[in-house]
Every structure is written in C-alpha cells, then in structure tokens.
Amino acid sequence: MAGAPDESGPGSAAGEQMQQQHVACQVFPERLAQGNPQQGFLSSFFTNNQKCQLMLLKTLQTNPYVKLLLDAMKHSGCAVNKERHFSCEDCDGNVSGGFDASTSQIVLCQNNIGNQAHMNRVVTHELIHAFDHCRAHVHWFTDVRHLACSEVRAANLSGDCSLVNEIFRLHFGLKQHHQTCVRDRAILSILAVRNISKEVAQKAVDEVFESCFNDHEPFGRIPHNKTYARYAHRDFQNRDRYYSNI
C-alpha cells in the first residue's frame, strides 16, 4: 500500500470527506444520521450490545492474531484503546464490521456477529485495516487500489481464508486455493463498501495482488491458524526487544 502512487491534489480533502460520508451511508447508515454514536449507560443493558462487548473483551485478551496486531499498533505509535477505538452498533444488511477511517474507529455489527469465532475474525480483519491506516497514507475513498491492497492483506492475514473456514463454506480442493480465496474475499469486501462494478473491483485487486499478498506485516508470515499466529507474536516480541537493545 505504501508503494501505491499518491494521487492527492487541490480539493482532494473535501472530495474524500464527501466520499467518506457516502461509503459510511452504504455500510453504517445510522452513523451518518447520528454522527459518531457513543454507547450510553442504558444501551449496555441491551442483549446484543452486552454480548458484543463481552466477546470483544475476550478477543482482545486472548486471541493471538489480535494481541500481535495490538502490539504492532502500539509499536507504530497508534496504541489502541477499547473504549475509544471500538464501537458495537447495529448495522444494515449482512455487514459484520468495518473500519471508519474518519474517526479511526472499528465498528462491530452487534446484530450480525453471532459467536466468538466470528468476533475474532472481524476484529482481526478490521485491525489489519487500522494497522495499514497507521503505517501508510492510505487514500481509502479516492484510490480503489489502496482499498484493494488492504482488503487483500486482511483476507490473507486474518484467517478469513483458513482451511476450516473454507471447508465450512464448502470451498476446497482447488490448486492455489488460498490465493483464490483471498482474491475473492477482497473483491467481495470492496463491493460491500464501494458503489462500483465487479469488473472495476476485480481490476483493482489484480493490479495490487502480487505485492499486497506478499506483504505480511506485522506477522512476518501468513498465520494460517492460531498456532502460527502465536509463533508470529513471539517472533514480533523478540524482534521488538532486539531493536530496543541496539
């Protein structure tokens, strides 16, 4: 993503803000109508919200993918705060979550996240977007290739395309199946948030696929399962300690 050309110019900030609102309206319509909603005292007693908050807490405390990403964000100067950077909300359609670049906040769709495993995948996926937002100047709303690159990385590194998940979807047995899954999931994610044709989304993914698929930061490898993620987290911690002692 950092290698993608910078297409900012006069008036681009205003145009990007308008497109941010357009995308937010597509995925989180209540966010555009109400601004940036804060969870009030009474809302915590609603079943979906309470369940979402509890699952989120467990994910942040125990999931090795998420623990590595949180350490990497902190190391990059973008420490994550549970109360500030996560929001459990109701969402339209089948959307599970999203990264709101205008507020640097991860939205978790409490009405669509049904279990702990699903929460783990959504938080990991969105934290990869947050990590990309932290480390690079990403034009989320004006350059579809930037979005495509982050979606490729999120599908590749979050476990979205793990063997277990693909078997559950009845997708398996193809040559280079992981790459095919990553490509397909990235295209679907783009189409969920951008009002563009499938052909345009496919073209964007194809243009960035090789470089972004091979960008494994901060994991250093493709973490195919939790064991791989634990090893990657250990290596990241050791690397961090090594550089701090130089």
Give the pLDDT mean for 27-34.
45
**Which residue is associated with the tokens 């295209």?**
187
Q: Which residue has the higher pLDDT, 137 or 188?
A: 188
Residues 218, 144: Cα–Cα separation, whole Å = 23
For residue 88, is pLDDT > 50? yes
Percent of the chain with pLDDT over 70: 73
Domain map of the chain by residue range?
47-226
Residues 11, 31: Cα–Cα separation, whole Å = 24
Q: Between the CA of residue 188 and those of 21, 76, 119, 170, what are the distances in Å?
A: 20, 29, 19, 17
Q: Which range is least confidently modeled, 8-12, 79-83, 223-227?
A: 8-12
Cα end-to-end span (Å), the chain: 29
Going 154 to 160 to 162 to 166, the CA torsion angle's sign is negative
Encoding tokens for residue 8? 């900012």
Q: Which of 10-14, 26-30, 51-55 has maximum average pLDDT?
A: 51-55
For residue 85, is pLDDT > 90? yes
Residues 57, 53: Cα–Cα separation, whole Å = 6
Q: What is the pLDDT of residues 123-137, one digit of tens each?
A: 999 999 999 999 988
Residues 124, 218: Cα–Cα separation, whole Å = 12
For residue 154, is pLDDT > 70? yes
Give the pLDDT mean for 133-143.
92
Give one DSSP letter per residue of 156-197, joined into a string.
HHSSTT-HHHHHHTT----TTHHHHHHHHHHHHHHHHHS---
Helices (H), the chain: 12-27, 29-34, 47-62, 64-75, 82-85, 116-135, 144-157, 163-168, 177-193, 198-213, 226-244
Closest of 187, 184, 234 to residue 71, by C-alpha: 234
Q: What is the pLDDT of residues 99-127, one digit of tens each?
A: 999 999 999 999 999 899 999 999 999 99
Closest of 97, 130, 122 to residue 31, by C-alpha: 97
pLDDT at 159: 87
For residue 164, is pLDDT > 90? no
* Residue 210 appears among annotated catalytic residues: no
Q: How confident is the model at residue 27 (pLDDT cuts 50, 70, 90)?
A: very low
Encoding tokens for residue 114? 């049904």
One of 7, 30, 89, 126 is an active-site residue; which one?
126
pLDDT at 239: 74
Give the containing element (helix H, strand E) for 107.
strand 105-109
